[in-house]
Structures are given as structure tokens and as C-alpha cells.
């Protein structure tokens, strides 16, 4: 896509600079499919957190390692875990490329398929596949809750209903996973749980009423198991500051790439990794208390790499805690290599809009944008604060909706209403004082109509 052709179509309105940029980028990204960052005159949309799917160093093959990654972003009847799938895909790439796990020894269980039965089956499979010198990796990114007796933590299955009884029945105890991994020949097991066992959502609200409080327990004498968890039993696992994705699994993966290498030897132990995450949380997280936990042997080397992590001071400054942030920089390998490339000048700062009159929502020309991937016969119409797109697709309506819904929530929109019918899905989103209504209708023979309408409430 030629961004230079898109920019002239965007009308500059006396809306707040941050709100205008954010909303335009969101709607453009939803209609445009896979594009995340757009160049808008006077607005810099910088990504402070590095993209963990890029620049992966290749590691030595580890034919005896086995990995299971469970990612549940969309639950049937409890709030979503926004960004869980993206984190899981980054872990999947790292395990294959940098850790060197054979592709036949890696399983990615995601979405609605991640039920209680499926998780237990994958744990048994991992124990059967593990070699004598290998490590079994179990990565879970989703909701957690206390068990009914308060003596263990639950990994909430995707089909758990909105009651305590169903949540207990359709979830898996942490101990059940460990029990199924015991018979394996592996030298060690590593369990990474980006979930809290307080039974709270990333927003700090209870998933369901009536849950038993969790009594802190340990892995109970399993000396060959290292467990890394997102928070204490009375805390909730929240998102990465300034980004709509789970914080713990993102930062831990960054630590294993070299961000957490405290002694500079190119190797990252479990202790180094968890201390790096603790440091980031204590520096940047201000809306909650989240203290990551580590059980079992902490000297086990989990990752190798010399990548330098993001500049936390810059991210802190960008959040408004002190002055203008310096220009963004990609992570580099230690030691830093000199470069002769000129540094691009910072984009001009857009003038502050007038506040004496109401600010209308943005308008843009969506004809320059690409619709849902693989769509054909696309027709786009925009007028004022609404946009309509007609297209054809062979994919079912739920899959088409999930695509647009995921993109919106990755941009920080919170879905507050959802109404699903066989041929029509309607949803309402809010972000601050902004409201966005989405309606997707299947009209038969692969024809779809997508309608978006946005507004600002003061």
C-alpha cells in the first residue's frame, strides 16, 4: 500500500491530536486488514515496544525439547484476554527459531479449541514426546482462577460459562498438568503461566461471583519443574503499559531474547528473567500491583541472546511522566555497532486544537484501503462519521467478525455489547469518551456488508 496516496485523503479536523490519530488509525486498520501504523501529517504513531516476531537469532537444534502453547483470547462467556493470540504466536516463533525445537514437537492450542479435555490431552502428548535430555515447555496465556478448595490455581478453559460451578468444571488445575507431565523422560519442565489465580480479568474485575479465595501453594517437591507466574494470588495479570496485550508473557519472552541478561554472559536464567520482568513492572506499572512469581530451580538457563531491551525511560517519558521522549530506536545486539546512517528528524508536532467548540469525529477516504483479507468485489462508501463496506468472502461470518473485532481490541477498544445471530453480528465498543458501533451482515452467496459508525461523548 502506498501511504503517500492515503495521506491526502485524510481531512484535518479540530479534534484532539491524540484522539484523532488514534481513532483514524484504528478505523483504517480495521478496514485495511493487517496495517497497524499509518503516517498522518503532524502525528507520530510510534511503537515503543519492540516487535518480538522480528529479528530472531537462530539457535542450535534441540530435538528432545517439546512445547505446548495454550492461548485463549476469546472465551465463550467470560471477558476476552486481548492480545493473547499475538503473544502466543511470538512464543511459537521463538521456540522454533531461537530455542531450536523441532516443529513436530510444538503444539499451539488456541481459541475455542482450548478446552479442559484438549489441554489435558496436550500435556499427555508432551510427556510422551519428550526426550531424556530435553525440556518440556508449557506456556499458558489466558484467564486463571482459584480452585474450588482454594489449594490450587485453575487454567480456565475456553468454554467456561459465567458461573463458578461451570468455571470449576471446565478448567484445569495447575497440578493436573504437572501430574501428566511427570511420566515424561524430560530432564526439566518449564511452566509459564500468564494468568492470575485471583479469578480477576485484566481490568481487575471478578470473572464470576462466588469463587473461593486461593491459598498460596507451591509445586510441592517437584525439583525438576520451574514455574513462572504473572502475579501473586491476590493480584490480577494486566496488559503491557501502552499496549493491548498481556504484559507478563511479552516481557518474559523479551527477557529470554537477551533483555534480562543481567551479567552479560549471553545466557538468561529463570532468575534473571523474572527479575527483569519485576523491574519493568515496578518502573512502568502504576495502575495495579503485579508481582511475578518463580518456583522451583531458578538457575536453569531458559534463553540465549544479547539483544538489548527497550528504553524504559523513553517509555516512561512517553506516558507523560517527564518531558519529551527521545526518538524511538529498535533493539540492537550488544555491543552496539556504530552506524553512519543519518538520523531522521522528528516529525513536526501538530498544533493543539481549539477547545472552545465541540470537535467533530474524523473523516477519511476508505477507498484507498484494503478490506478483509482475500475479499473480492469490494465497494466502500464513507459519509461523515460512518463507513460502509460491501465485499465477498468464502469465510464464515464468525471468522470475518473475529478478524475485525481482534484488530479493534488490539487498538485499545473495549467491547461492551455483542449480539450474534446466524446472519448478523452487532457489537459496540468504547475507548475513553469514544464510541464505535459495528454491524456485520451476511447476505448470502458469500456477500457481506460491514457498517461502522463512530462518535465522541463528552
**pLDDT tens profile 50-78:** 999 998 999 999 999 999 999 999 888 77
Q: Which of 276, 106, 82 is nearest to 268 (CA)?
A: 276
Q: Residue 252 is part of a domain; what is its CATH number? A: 3.40.50.1460
Q: What is the largest CA-CA distance in the chain?
A: 71
Q: Is the peptide bond before 51 cis (omega within 30 degrees of 0)?
A: no
Q: Are 203 and 246 in contact (CB under 8 A)?
A: no
pLDDT: which is higher, 454 or 317: 454
Placement of cell 508536532 in the chain: 349
Within-domain flag for 332: no
Instruction: Take residue 96 and report the three cell numbers written for it.
Output: 522454533
Contact 181, 125 (CB under 8 A): no
Q: Are 254 and 55 in contact (CB under 8 A)?
A: no
Identify whether 351 is part of a domain: no
169 with 206, same domain: the answer is yes
Provide mean pLDDT across the span 95-108: 96
**Domain-located, residue 255:** yes
Q: Which of 184-193, 383-392, 415-424, 437-446 has the highest mean pLDDT?
A: 184-193
Which contacts (CB < 8 Å, 24+ apart) does range 13-17 have?
Answer: 13/359, 13/360, 13/361, 13/362, 13/363, 14/353, 14/354, 14/357, 14/359, 14/360, 15/353, 15/359, 15/360, 15/361, 15/362, 15/456, 16/353, 16/359, 17/42, 17/43, 17/350, 17/352, 17/353
What average pLDDT score do residues 97-104 get? Answer: 96
Region of 133 please: left (phi>0), alpha (psi -120 to 50) or beta.
Answer: alpha
**Predicted pLDDT of residue 160:** 86
pLDDT score of 87 more than 80: yes
Domain boundary, last residue among 313, 343, 366: 313
Reply yes or no on whether the pLDDT at 336 is more than 60: no
Joined grid coordinates for residue 205: 474485575
- Give the least confident one: 6-20, 271-285, 315-329: 6-20
**Last residue of some domain: 259, 287, 313?**
313
Does residue 365 sit within a domain? yes
In a domain, 56, yes or no: no
More confident of the two residues 263 and 25: 263
393/277: higher pLDDT: 277
Q: What is the pLDDT of residue 287?
A: 73
Residue 228 · residue 276 · CB < 8 Å: no
What would the mean pLDDT of 136-159 be, rounded to a whole number?
A: 87
Q: Considering only residues 385 and 42, tell me which one the structure prediction assigns the higher pLDDT.
A: 385
Are 16 and 92 contained in the same domain? no
Domain membership of residue 337 (yes or no) is no
Say yes or no to pLDDT of 412 above 90.
Answer: no
- Establish if 296 belongs to a structural domain: yes
- Which range of residues forms the domain containing residue 401? 3-46+357-456
Residues 27, 133 share a domain: no
Q: How far apart are CA 270 and CA 336, in angstroms?
A: 25
Contact status, residue 232 vs residue 145, Cβ threshold 8 Å: no
Cell digits of residue 84: 493473547
- Same domain? For 154 and 212 the reply is yes
Looking at the structure, tell me whether residues 309 and 261 fall in a common domain: yes
Dist CA 180 CA 158 (whole Å): 20
**Same domain assignment for residues 284 and 411:** no
* Residue with more model confidence, 317 or 232: 232
Give the residue, 181 or 433, on which the prediction is more confident.
181
User: What is the structure's pLDDT at 365?
Assistant: 37
* 343 inside domain: no
* pLDDT exceeds cutoff 80 at 149: no
Cell numbers given for 341:
546512517
Task: Taking residues 29-48, report their average pLDDT.
Answer: 37
At 116-145, the pLDDT tens digits run 999 999 999 999 999 998 999 999 999 888
How much is the mean pLDDT over the chain?
Answer: 75
Same domain flag for 280 and 403: no
**Domain count along the chain:** 2
Mean predicted confidence (pLDDT) in 193-201: 71
d(CA 227, CA 218): 9
Shared-domain flag, residues 188 and 138: yes
- In contact, 70 and 125? CB cutoff 8 Å: no
Do 199 and 306 lie in one domain? The reply is yes
Q: 233 and 140 in one domain?
A: yes
**In a shared domain, residues 175 and 297:** yes
Share above pLDDT 70 across residues of the chain, in percent, rounded to a whole number: 70
Which pTM does this prediction carry? Answer: 0.60
Q: What's the pLDDT tens digit per position in 249-297?
A: 999 999 999 999 988 899 999 999 999 998 888 878 777 788 898 999 9
Do 403 and 439 have their domain in common? yes
Residue 406 confidence (pLDDT) = 74
Amino acid at each position: 500500500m502506498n501511504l503517500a496516496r492515503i495521506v491526502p485523503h485524510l481531512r484535518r479536523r479540530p479534534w484532539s491530536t491524540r484522539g484523532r490519530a488514534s481513532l483514524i488509525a484504528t478505523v483504517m486498520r480495521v478496514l485495511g486488514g493487517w496495517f497497524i501504523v499509518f503516517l498522518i501529517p503532524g502525528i507520530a504513531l510510534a511503537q515503543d515496544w519492540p516487535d518480538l516476531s522480528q529479528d530472531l537469532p537462530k539457535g542450535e537444534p534441540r530435538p528432545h525439547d517439546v512445547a505446548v502453547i495454550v492461548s485463549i483470547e476469546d472465551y465463550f462467556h467470560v471477558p476476552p484476554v486481548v492480545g493473547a493470540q499475538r503473544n502466543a504466536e511470538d512464543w511459537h516463533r521463538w521456540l522454533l527459531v531461537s530455542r531450536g525445537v523441532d516443529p513436530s514437537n510444538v503444539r499451539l492450542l488456541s481459541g475455542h479449541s482450548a478446552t479442559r479435555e484438549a489441554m489435558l490431552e496436550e500435556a499427555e502428548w508432551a510427556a510422551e514426546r519428550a526426550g531424556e535430555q530435553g525440556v518440556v515447555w508449557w506456556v499458558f496465556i489466558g484467564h486463571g482462577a482459584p480452585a474450588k478448595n482454594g489449594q490450587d490455581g485453575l487454567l480456565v478453559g475456553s468454554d467456561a460459562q459465567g458461573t463458578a460451578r461451570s468455571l470449576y468444571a471446565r478448567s484445569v488445575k495447575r497440578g493436573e498438568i504437572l501430574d501428566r507431565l511427570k511420566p515424561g523422560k524430560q530432564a526439566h519442565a518449564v511452566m509459564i503461566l500468564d494468568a492470575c489465580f485471583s479469578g480477576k480479568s485484566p481490568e481487575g474485575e471478578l470473572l464470576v461471583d462466588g469463587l473461593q479465595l486461593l491459598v498460596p501453594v507451591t509445586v510441592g517437591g517437584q525439583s525438576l519443574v520451574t514455574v513462572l507466574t504473572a502475579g501473586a494470588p491476590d493480584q490480577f495479570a494486566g496488559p503491557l503499559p501502552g499496549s493491548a496485550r498481556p504484559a507478563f508473557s511479552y516481557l518474559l519472552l523479551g527477557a529470554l531474547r537477551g533483555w534480562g541478561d543481567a551479567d552479560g554472559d549471553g545466557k538468561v536464567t529463570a532468575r534473571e528473567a523474572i527479575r527483569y520482568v519485576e523491574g519493568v513492572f515496578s518502573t512502568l506499572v502504576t495502575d495495579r500491583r503485579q508481582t511475578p512469581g518463580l518456583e522451583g530451580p531458578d538457575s536453569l538457563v531458559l534463553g540465549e541472546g544479547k539483544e538489548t531491551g527497550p528504553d524504559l525511560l523513553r517509555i516512561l517519558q512517553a506516558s507523560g511522566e517527564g518531558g519529551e521522549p527521545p526518538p524511538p530506536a529498535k533493539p540492537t545486539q550488544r555491543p552496539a555497532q556504530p552506524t553512519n546512517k543519518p538520523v531522521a528528524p522528528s516529525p513536526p508536532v501538530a498544533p493543539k486544537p481549539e477547545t472552545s467548540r465541540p470537535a467533530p469525529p474524523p473523516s477519511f477516504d476508505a477507498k484507498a484501503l484494503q478490506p478483509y483479507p482475500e475479499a473480492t468485489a469490494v465497494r466502500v462508501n464513507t459519509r461523515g462519521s460512518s463507513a460502509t463496506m460491501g465485499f465477498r468472502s468464502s469465510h464464515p461470518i464468525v471468522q470475518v467478525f473475529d478478524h475485525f473485532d481482534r484488530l479493534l481490541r488490539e487498538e485499545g477498544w473495549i467491547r461492551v455489547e455483542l449480539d450474534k445471530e446466524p446472519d448478523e453480528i452487532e457489537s459496540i465498543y468504547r475507548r475513553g469518551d469514544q464510541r464505535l458501533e459495528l454491524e456485520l451482515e451476511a447476505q448470502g452467496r458469500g456477500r457481506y456488508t460491514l457498517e461502522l459508525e463512530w462518535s465522541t461523548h463528552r
